[in-house]
Amino acid sequence: MIYLDYAAATPLSEKAKRAMLPYFDEKFFNPSAAYLPATETRREYEQAKADIAHVIGAKAADLVMTSGATEANSLVFASVPDDAEVLISAIEHPSILENAKQKNYKTISVDESGRINLDDLRAKITPNTQLISICLASSELGTIQPLSDIARIVVEERTRRAFAGEKTPIYFHSDASQGLGLMEVKVSRLGVDLLTINAAKVYGPKGIGALYIGHNVRLKPQTHGGGQELGLRSGTENVPATIAFATAIMEAEKHLAGERKRLADLRAKFKKLLSEKIDGIEFLGKEKTQLANFMPISIPGLDAERLIFALEEHEVYVSTGAACAASKGEKSPTLKAIGLNDMQIAGSLRITLGRPTGIDDVEKAADAIAQVVTNECARLAK
């Protein structure tokens, strides 16, 4: 099997798996209980939160653990008044877009590579804007956004409001799920008030994520009960998954620079092979501002869904874009936003490399993709 959809899901690392196993049996205790074994589990849980927070330049007290990125994003938007204005980019993940649709929202345009238009952002901020949510990196293109530049615009608006005596707050949130483990992610350098991270993208378990909450931010609890997680997410803590998340994120951080270079080199080889084998192939996005493992492509005139099914027969697995959008059979809003026409969108594939990907995988996948494209072109020519 040659799996090339690491933007959708990563396998659980062996270290993370080993780290979490004891918490299913010998250390199974509820961390809220008062007896000694439970307090030891509590201590280890809090240490895991501290380890996760340290990777993003925060403290354990700044984190609320969630069931994943979608819940973390929903917690942010649920805390914004219904009549408040929110701004999002035109290429956000469905977990941002669908939440934004519940509010008074506007979308910020992007260029042909998916980078946000800062002038458009400035123009669309109004005195009623309370939340700006821009992903760190696109889940379809891998395009990295200039968050520190966006943060400066938010600070300018916050300062203007302070001098004008306006009381309406404005917060800056980013879903960093896709970029985590592939680039340095530090909340102070990014300038965000809120940051979403997700274990499932960094070789941790699915079903666990976290939301960083800056000291100036007040959110509304969506789950009521025992008051866990700063009172924002009541319920018994998912200790095994949190322990595994901490192990996975620290492992990714340790090897970040070397893995990023390895992936970039593999991608360059992959691009060269596909360019030689397939006429008319288009590579989407710009490498300079793209995550090292992303290689979205388009082969205009072909049907990407047919290509995916054909590639599956070769045991090569890719996707048409973000799994959430692809599962609905919808045309990608992201690809529309960067100006692709219907033929380009129909023929687009998202290829993402991962830790297990090697040169043999790239060479075999390139051969398989070229063969499938040749067969499809021949079928259409009949």
The values of phi and psi at residue 160, to 5°, are: -60, -45
Where does residue 250 fall: left (phi above 0), alpha (psi -120 to 50 degrees), or beta otherwise?
A: alpha
Cα distance between residue 91 and residue 111, in whole Å: 11
> Helix H segments across the chain?
14-20, 36-55, 69-78, 94-100, 118-124, 147-164, 187-190, 239-254, 256-277, 304-313, 323-326, 333-337, 342-346, 359-381
Q: H or E segment at 155?
A: helix 147-164
Cα distance between residue 315 and residue 171, in whole Å: 45
Question: Positive or negative, the Cα torsion across 358, 206, 337, 342?
Answer: positive
Cα distance between residue 381 and residue 216, in whole Å: 62
Catalytic residue among 9, 118, 324, 377: 324
Known catalytic membership, residue 324: yes
Instruction: Report the candidate in 293, 286, 312, 294 with the shortest Cα–Cα distance to residue 369.
Output: 312
Q: Give 277-282 contacts, CB < 8 A, sequence gap 24+.
A: 277/366, 277/367, 277/369, 277/370, 278/369, 278/370, 278/373, 282/344
Catalytic residue positions, numbered: 324
